[in-house]
Structure 1
């Protein structure tokens, strides 16, 4: 467990910007800066999580593709309405978790880490749903 305690603490701390971006418009009204920050932070965290799947030299070709498949479309998200981009990001967090759970390393992870990954993905997904809703109905 000790080797995962920092991961667990940092994982939960990483939720604060997501929660802050959901709470900000509820307390102070919606604004485009908040929506942009949420989107960019989501992209950064998704890229980080997908990058953790990358195990150069230790994986099959199909697992290497899984590590990058969710982030390859990211540059094209700027051409989509923000709601669609956020929906792609929300689903991508689940894909990364599914890919991680399918990896052989998943079984060696501590149960607390596995639980944390599910909780974080769930909360991030719900934050995306709220943010999509707030962008559709800003007032």
Structure 2
């Protein structure tokens, strides 16, 4: 059996590969290794802010799809009336989360790490509340939960490391 680059770089693989910088900077911090230009903690915060902003952008895109009734596969989504997200609320929350991520780059380290962890949790809660997993590939919802749990755990661990 031959594994091609296309097989390797599918969405679950890319999700798990995205954890590497979180874990790598956590390890560097835990063993006290510093980098010439930036501390591993600041690198952790910067990467976290980038990923949170990227995911917030997908919230906006998903809000657009639900507002128009479309999915990635071009099918119509049926949602409960009370749970339908509007384009306006999706874009507002997308921008709020992105601004939170940016602000964390300017805040003291403990507050930044906590704020970013809260941002990842908030994003996942909104995806569940607005039923944004409808029409996604099988396993996507579980992948998002697992990845968010690992990312938030890394934030908790980093918070513990900087407090010692």
TM-score normalised over the length of structure 2? 0.72
Write the distance in 2 (CA, Å) between the matches of 1:119 and 1:77.
Answer: 23
- Find the partner of 2:128 among 86, 101, 104: 101
1:135 aligns with 2:162: yes
- Give the count of matched residue pairs: 132
| Matching residue of 2:148 | 121
Counterpart of 1:51? Answer: 57
Higher relative contact order (CA 8 A, sep 6+): 1
Mark the runs of 5 or more structure 1 residues left unpaired by the alignment.
none
Cα distance between partner residues in 2 of 1:133 and 1:57: 38
> Which has the larger helix fraction?
1
Q: Which one has the largest radius of gyration?
A: 2
How far does the alpha carbon of each residue in 1:72-127 deviate from its partner, in whole angstroms, 9 at most, with x for none? Answer: 23343344321011100001001111122233441212331111100000000010
Q: 1:6 to 1:78 in 2, by over 3 A?
A: closer
8 A Cα contact 1:53 1:100, kept in partner: yes
Output the aligned Cα RMSD. 2.0
Structure 2: gaps spanning 5 or more residues: 1-8, 68-85
Instruction: Find 2:27's aligned residue among 19, 23, 27.
Output: 23
Q: TM-score by structure 1 length?
A: 0.84
